[in-house]
């Protein structure tokens, strides 16, 4: 029987590329995101390959998270793989100039949203005594950088939750692991810079950054290992990136 993967933040970037790759590899897909129009379009595309269902909700709204996940039809109720991918950066300001709304959005989406979705799905995995949770962190989960303050804090928290979740779910045979990407060219920087496309494009200028498909490939590799293999913590950077702050540009 085909496995089912639920992917948060699947209307763009790493989440979308992962949904496309897993659909082509016979996973049933549950797409989750805020933008219904994008989800509907992607659902149509993926339905050529596999069974696809989309859930449109705001991950920072806990009632919406639980209601959406509990509304899944019977054929999608057994979730084998949860990919906690949804996450954003809002702003890149020194702490003294930080915007409190930006801080709250990052804490609500990157941290609380990940917890809500996990809390809604973990009981199902415990009951089935199997499952695989992939937490998408960031190099910002491992290193901080100037002006990264709250974004780095939320991603460090994802790193901590990943490690602790792995211990808590160990008795139930559930695999838990994190993938921490460095610079990936997606809408990430456009969101961080609030639609300033020039500023966003500059982030990826003069070197070859990772693509969303590179991370999708790695997610597919991680989840397709034999069940006794749990890749628990993986940092991935493009070759030109030496650290959060060191990048070789032309």
- We find the least distance from the C-beta atom of residue 203 to ligand 8X3, in angstroms, to be 7
Q: Match 């804490």 to its residue by tokens.
A: 107
244: contact with ligand 8X3 by CB under 6 A: yes
Is 151 one of the annotated active-site residues of the chain?
yes
Gap between the Cα atoms of 34 and 14, Å rounded:
15
Contact pattern from residue 135 through residue 154 relative to ligand 8X3, giving x for each residue in contact according to CB under 6 A and a dash for the rest:
---xxx--------------
91: contact with ligand 8X3 by CB under 6 A: no
84: contact with ligand 8X3 by CB under 6 A: no
- We find the least distance from the C-beta atom of residue 85 to ligand 8X3, in angstroms, to be 12
Nearest residue relative to ligand 8X3 (C-beta) = 138
Among 7, 182, 212, 247, binds ligand 8X3 (CB under 6 A): 182
Phi/psi at 183 (5° precision)? -75, 115
- We find the least distance from the C-beta atom of residue 21 to ligand 8X3, in angstroms, to be 20
134: contact with ligand 8X3 by CB under 6 A: no
Q: Which of 145, 151, 172, 227 is catalytic?
A: 151
Among 31, 183, 219, 237, binds ligand 8X3 (CB under 6 A): 183
Residues shown for the chain: 250
Total interface residues for ligand 8X3 by CB under 6 A: 6
- Which residues are the active-site residues? 151
Q: Can you give the binding site for ligand 8X3, defined by CB under 6 A? A: 138-140, 182-183, 244
């Amino acid at each position: 029987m085909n496995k089912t993967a639920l992917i948060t933040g699947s209307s763009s970037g790493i989440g979308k590329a992962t949904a496309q790759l897993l659909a082509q590899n016979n996973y049933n897909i549950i797409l989750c995101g805020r933008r219904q129009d994008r989800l509907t379009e992607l659902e149509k595309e993926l339905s050529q390959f596999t069974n696809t269902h989309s859930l449109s909700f705001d991950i920072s709204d806990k009632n919406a998270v639980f209601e959406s996940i509990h509304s899944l039809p019977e054929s999608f109720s057994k979730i084998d793989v949860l990919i906690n991918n949804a996450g954003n950066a809002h702003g890149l300001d020194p702490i003294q100039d930080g915007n409190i709304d930006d801080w709250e959005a990052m804490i609500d989406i990157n941290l609380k949203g990940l917890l809500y979705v996990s809390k809604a799905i973990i009981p199902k995995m415990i009951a089935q005594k199997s499952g695989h949770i992939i937490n998408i962190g960031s190099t910002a989960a491992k290193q901080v950088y100037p002006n990264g303050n709250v974004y780095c804090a939320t991603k460090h928290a994802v790193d901590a939750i990943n490690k602790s979740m792995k211990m808590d779910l160990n008795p139930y045979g559930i695999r838990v692991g994190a993938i921490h990407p460095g610079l990936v060219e997606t809408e990430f920087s456009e969101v961080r810079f609030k639609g300033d496309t020039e500023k966003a494009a500059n982030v990826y200028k003069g070197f070859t950054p990772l693509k969303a498909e590179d991370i999708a490939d790695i997610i597919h590799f991680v989840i397709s290992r034999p069940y006794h293999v749990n890749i628990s913590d993986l940092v991935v950077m493009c070759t030109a990136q030496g650290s959060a702050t060191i990048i070789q540009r032309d």
